[in-house]
Amino acid sequence: MSLRPLMITAAAVALSLFASLANAQCCAPPACAPAACAPAACGPQYVEKTVCVPEMTTETRTITVTCCRPEVRQKTYTVMRRVPETHTVQRPYTVMVPEQRVRTVSYCVPKPVTRQVERQYTVMVPHQETRTTTRRVCRMVPTTETRTVCECSGRWEERTCEVPAQPACAPACCAPASCCPPACPRTYRVWVPEVVKREVQVTVMRPSYEDVPCQYTVTVCHPETRTKIVTLCEYKTEQRTCQVPYTVCVPQQRVAQCPVTTWRCVPEEKTCQYTVMVPYQEQREVQVQVCRMVKKTVTVPVCTPCCEQSCEPCAGPRHCGWGRRRCGC
C-alpha cells in the first residue's frame, strides 16, 4: 500500500484545521471590547505561502547480494576396525572345601544342694497410745469501730443558654441581618454533685486465738525378735566333658581353562561425500520507496489585529486573537 495518498490527505487536513483556528481566533471580538467591535469590522485576510509536502516515489536500485550454492566434495579417511581373537589360558584359583571334625569340650554344671537353717528376724508390732497436747483455736469476736464514709448529696439546677436560630429565608452567605431571627433562650437541668463526709459506727469480726488442751490417739510400733526355719539352696560346681562335632574349611588349589577374547585394531580406508555451501555475490535490482519534500504554494488566512479597527476604547489592554500579541485600545 502506498503512503503518498495518506500523507497528502494528512497535510490537507492539517491546513484546513489551521485555517479554521485562525479564522475563529481573528474574528472573535475581545472580551473587553463593546458591541461595536463585532466580527463584521474584523475579518481574515488570505496570503500565499510556500510549504514542503512529503511525496513518496518508487526508484529502482541495484544492490549486491551474497548467496550460497551447494557443492558436493569427496574425501578419504581412515577408520580402525576391531577384529576379535579367542584363545585359552590356564588360571589357578583356590577353593574352600568343608571338612567335618570332632573335639572334646569341658564345661561346668552348677548342682543345687538344699539345707534347713534357723534364722532370727525382727518385726514391728503396732499398738495404740493416748497423748495429751494443746492446740490453738481461732474464734471470731464482734468489735465496734468508727469509720469515715463519703456520701453524695447533690442537687438539680436549672440553667439557661442562648441557641442561635438557623436562617430559613436566604443562604447564609448573602442573607441580610433583618431576615434571620434572633437567638432564643433554652433551659436545661444539670446535676451538681456534693460529697459529704461523716463518721459511722460499724461492727466487724476480729479473730481471737486461744490455746485449748486436747487428747489424741496414735499408733506406735515396737520391735519384736522372732525365730523361724528357712530352706537354703546352694549351688556346687561339677566338671563334665562332651564330644562336639564342628566343620572347618580347608583351602585347595585348582587350575581352570578360561577362554579369553582380545580385540585387534586393523586400519581401513573409506571414502565419503559431503556437501558444502560456497558463497558468491550477484547484482540484483530492487524497488525502493523514497520520500522527498516537494515545495507547494498554499493560501492561508492572516489575522488583522483588533487594535487597528475603529472600536471604542476599552478599559485596558487586550490580546489579539491570532498571534496572541498584546495591544492597548
- Over residues 53-79, the pLDDT tens digits come to 888 888 898 999 999 999 999 999 999
Residue 308's SS3 state is helix
Q: How many whole angstroms separate alpha carbon 47 and alpha carbon 299? A: 5
pLDDT score for 279? 92
Express as a percent the part of the chain with pLDDT over 70: 72
Does the pTM exceed 0.75? no
**Residue 160 corresponds to which cell in the numbers above?**
439557661
Residue 238 has pLDDT above 70, yes or no: yes
Q: What is the DSSP letter of 15?
A: H
d(CA 41, CA 23): 14
- Residue found under cell 471470731: 140
296 CB-near residues (< 8 Å, 6+ apart)? 50, 51, 52, 53
- How would you classify the pairing of strands 318-319 and 195-302? unpaired
Please write the tens of the pLDDT for every residue from 145-186: 898 888 877 788 888 887 665 554 444 444 455 555 566 778
Does residue 100 come out as left (phi exceeding 0), alpha (psi in the -120 to 50 range) or beta?
Answer: beta
Distance of CA 318 to the CA centre of its chain: 62
pLDDT at 30: 46
Mean pLDDT, rounded, for 91-118: 91
Please state the length of the chain: 329
**For the CA atoms of 313, 318, 324, 326, what is the dihedral angle to 10 degrees?**
90
Residue 302's pLDDT is 76
Give the span between the Cα atoms of 79 and 12, in whole angstroms. 78
The answer, yes or no, to whether residue 257 has pLDDT greater than 60, is yes
For residue 93, the model assigns a pLDDT of: 92
- pLDDT, position 314: 41
Neighbours of 319 (CB within 10 A): 16
| 59-73, 216-230, 296-310: the lowest-pLDDT one | 296-310
> Which residue intervals of the chain are DSSP H helices?
4-27
Query: Is residue 119's pLDDT more than 60?
Result: yes
CA distance 219 to 126: 6
pLDDT at position 326 is: 43
> Higher confidence at residue 166 or residue 124?
124
